[in-house]
Structure 1
Amino acid sequence: MTNVNAIITYAEKHCKKHGMCLTTQRKQVLISLAQSKTALTVYKIIALYKQLFNENIAAMSVYRILEFLENEKFIHKLQLTNKYIICTHIATDHDHHKSQFLICSMCDLVKEINFEKSLISKIKQGMKTANFVLSNTQLEIHCICNTCINKIA
């Protein structure tokens, strides 16, 4: 979803419905993530925030805001890279516990996808055979996007 206004409208309604407040800073961090085409570290979020809103924001504030936004399922944290990205299904009834991410190793473009349950079941079966148990179905797959492939071709 790239419509920032729709994202903010949804987030405001969600927060109001659940008795929470989408503060100005929370909204601005969410806008920063919504406008980025790549996953961002906290310090890149701070820089983009400064660029977009001509205001400084403390790193600790950003961490607290990101925790809130993640708990409300507005964003995802990519565990392997410690970066954050807007949920592409933010205004839908999408199951947020089953997301998989394709991450371009060259340009950091991230695409949120959902594998079929049968594929996740096959992965679980393979892990069981290897005496492991899948503890989190969030998969982060590093690959190269077509744009970057075309640049090197």
Structure 2
Amino acid sequence: MRVAIAGKAKWIADTLPKLDRRQYMTEDGIPMTDAQMTGFLGHAYESIATDGANKVTPGAYNGTGARANRGSASRALHFADADSYTAYQSLYGEKMIQQVMNNHPLAIGKGLALVEAFGTNALPAGAGMDRPGQAQGLPLRGVPRRCGGEPSRGDR
């Protein structure tokens, strides 16, 4: 929200000096110029300001792929140091650093639990889950009939 309110030009002007420019290379391995960095940050601004809505295709599945691969994507903003990150957070952060640090392990734990329960490439939003355990090929014995399983002693 703060990013969108600031506007693209101000956000880029505030963010660019705080970044570690050594992390930004062209496909040829040459450091990005100021113009390339401004263009790159312009695209980042659109994604951050719209919370990713600029990448959504109406009517298309917009999932993120295998759960196991989440978190492995390269990050767009590489700050030069802790002071640069803290300064950025004070201007544009939605949460305090303590909240960010506390929420990270919780999100990692949730992701791990989902991978353990549903596999590394679970179907989106439960698609194909008419019968519990079906997506993992688990036997349905003991699952109540009302849930699509075979009858157990308690269901007979």
Report the TM-score, using the length of structure 1 for normalisation: 0.28
Indicate the structure with greater helix content. Answer: 2
Indicate the structure with greater strand content. Answer: 1
Report the TM-score, using the length of structure 2 for normalisation: 0.28
Compare CA radii of gyration and give the structure with the larger one: 2
